[in-house]
Amino acid sequence: MKHFPILNGRCYVVELPEGEKPKRIEKSYTDSYLCVTSPSGEIMLKLPPGNWQIVGRLSEVTESEAAGMVDSDDQYGVTMYRNYKTTGMPYFDEQITAIEALESAIVAEGYAFQSAPKPENKDFYWGYLKDLAKWEAAQSRVLCRERCLILKKI
């Protein structure tokens, strides 16, 4: 299960294994856990410190829910959302939606939603093996929108 914080720890992304469903968040005296039901039983994933709320799967998050999580700026009467893929100074873009801004925060952490094509075996065998190893490493950073669960710190 891939999981990582985004938006300076305000949100947390968990890619659920196929067929598994989030059940609830449990809190002990010191820790919070995401409980996930799976065919093999219940899985408990320890979350970073804080109180967490399940927002939903990335594919189901609404524009207003995303707008409440990402940074925005209301200049000249137009709401602009931050594009987190840019480096350096914060860049607010009127061309992207709040959902696209949320996705850019995930991409800024080094993840992707689309897989690069698998390299072809060319004449140079060792070069192919090197390209294949890079491709396999990159595959571990590919996420599925339908399985990405978004949590928000409350």
For the chain, the domains span 2-153
Contact 31, 13 (CB under 8 A): no
Question: Is the model more confident about 135 or about 101?
Answer: 101
pLDDT in tens, 29-77: 889 999 998 777 888 999 999 999 999 999 999 999 999 999 998 877 8
Structure confidence at residue 92 (pLDDT): 82
pLDDT at 124 over 70: no
Structure confidence at residue 88 (pLDDT): 66
| pTM of the model as a whole | 0.84
Instruction: Using the Cα atoms of residue 140, residue 146, residue 147 and residue 153 in order, give the sign of their dihedral.
Output: positive
Q: Which of 14-18, 23-27, 126-130, 132-136 has the lowest mean pLDDT?
A: 126-130
Distance CA 5, CA 151 (A): 9
Spacing of C-alpha 107 from chain mean position: 7
**Structural tokens at position 88:** 């350096």
Residue 150, sorted as left (phi over 0), alpha (psi -120 to 50) or beta, turns out to be beta
DSSP code, position 9: G
Distance CA 55, CA 144 (A): 17
